Amino acid sequence: MPLLPVLRRRSASQKGLELRIRSLTGLRIRQLDLYELAFTHPLVHGQKTLSFHSTNQRLEFLGDAVLDLVVAEFLFRKFPFKQEGFLTEMRSKVVNGEFLDQLGRKLGLDEILCETSLRLYEGEGESRTPHHLLKQLKSKGSVADAFEAFVGALYLDRGLKDTRSWLENRILEPQIDWEEMALSGSNPKSRLLEWAQKHRAQYRMECQEIESGKGHHKSILYKITLWVNGKELAHAESPSKRKAEQAAAALFFEQREQNDFL
């Protein structure tokens, strides 16, 4: 049963939302109101009585559980020889808020969240959108929550089979480099070595010793320059040569993720 009243006629904005959801999922939409609800930020209706019935919070709760189940099953099948600890760590890397925020933005869910929430807020009769709502709509937590709410809406609309299929075939398989994700969070310099071997890349670290201070206060600062395939890509400095090397390797992966997500 739909969570919002079924409208006899859909507005142009609702038709646009339906087209975007169909394009995103490749599925026929049965209950558009569920998806509209998934992209309705809690601040749209303020603190009004029973406002939680008309925002995405309950769908977020459901989507979080569905996402946990589907990701856990996917990892169980994909890594048949890995232990529980590895599977748990990998699942936590997928379902954490920062990763879901990045993924949601790549899918365009941040735009749908803003468009839907602002449209519904204006429908409340307000003359202008408050600054705090605009700020929250752009926050990482809001986009991650919308991703989970969207999964919850898809589950209620199409069932577990279609939801699992969409997550596996359009998200978990094509969007994630599992080998790289397994290495994330490990020793950056070791991760760089494994990355270079996998991608057949050549890298080297140049070390320059810089003296600072005078007399008894003289110290040495190590400046590391990282070259990858003949390109100068990262710099880091530290009183410890090992820490400078680790920092340069970590900076390389940060820059890589920013310029070429996943």
The CA-atom distances, in angstroms, between 257 and each of 22, 165, 235 are 29, 27, 17
Whichever domain contains 70, its CATH number is 1.10.1520.10
Q: Which two tokens stand for residue 262?
A: 């996943």
Asked whether residue 2 is domain-assigned, the answer is no
Q: Which of 36, 60, 64, 145 is catalytic?
A: 64
Do 115 and 140 have their domain in common? yes
Band the pLDDT of 63: cuts 50, 70, 90.
very high
Of 176, 208, 243, the one marking the end of a domain is: 176
Asked whether residue 1 is domain-assigned, the answer is no
64 is known as an active-site residue:
yes
Of 125, 154, 176, the one marking the end of a domain is: 176
Beta carbons of 178 and 162 less than 8 angstroms apart: no
Q: Which of 101, 110, 148, 245 is catalytic?
A: 148
Do 169 and 227 have their domain in common? no
157 is known as an active-site residue:
no
The CA-atom distances, in angstroms, between 160 and each of 163, 167, 178, 237 are 5, 10, 24, 51
Pick 139 or 225 by higher pLDDT: 225
Pick 68 or 97 by higher pLDDT: 68
Sign of torsion, CA 168 169 175 176? positive
Do 24 and 130 have their domain in common? yes
pLDDT score, position 3:
47
pLDDT in tens, 28-56: 999 999 999 999 988 886 644 444 457 78
Whichever domain contains 221, its CATH number is 3.30.160.20
Band the pLDDT of 222: cuts 50, 70, 90.
confident
The CA-atom distances, in angstroms, between 155 and each of 92, 99, 127, 235 are 21, 21, 35, 46
Radius of gyration in angstroms for the set of CA atoms belonging to the chain, rounded to a whole number: 23
Asked whether residue 98 is domain-assigned, the answer is yes
pLDDT in tens, 183-208: 776 677 877 887 887 788 899 999 99
Pick 122 or 223 by higher pLDDT: 223
Do 171 and 187 have their domain in common? no
Do 155 and 215 have their domain in common? no
The CA-atom distances, in angstroms, between 2 and each of 8, 30, 126, 156 are 13, 10, 27, 9
Asked whether residue 97 is domain-assigned, the answer is yes
Q: Which domain, by its residues, includes 254?
A: 183-259
Looking at the chain, the number of H-run helices and the number of E-run strands are 11, 3
Do 50 and 132 have their domain in common? yes
pLDDT score, position 261:
40
Work out how many domains the chain is built from and give that number. Answer: 2
Q: Kindly tell me if the per-residue pLDDT of 239 is higher than 70.
A: yes
pLDDT in tens, 75-102: 999 999 988 878 888 898 899 888 899 8
The residue among 36, 91, 95 whose CA lies nearest residue 63 is: 95
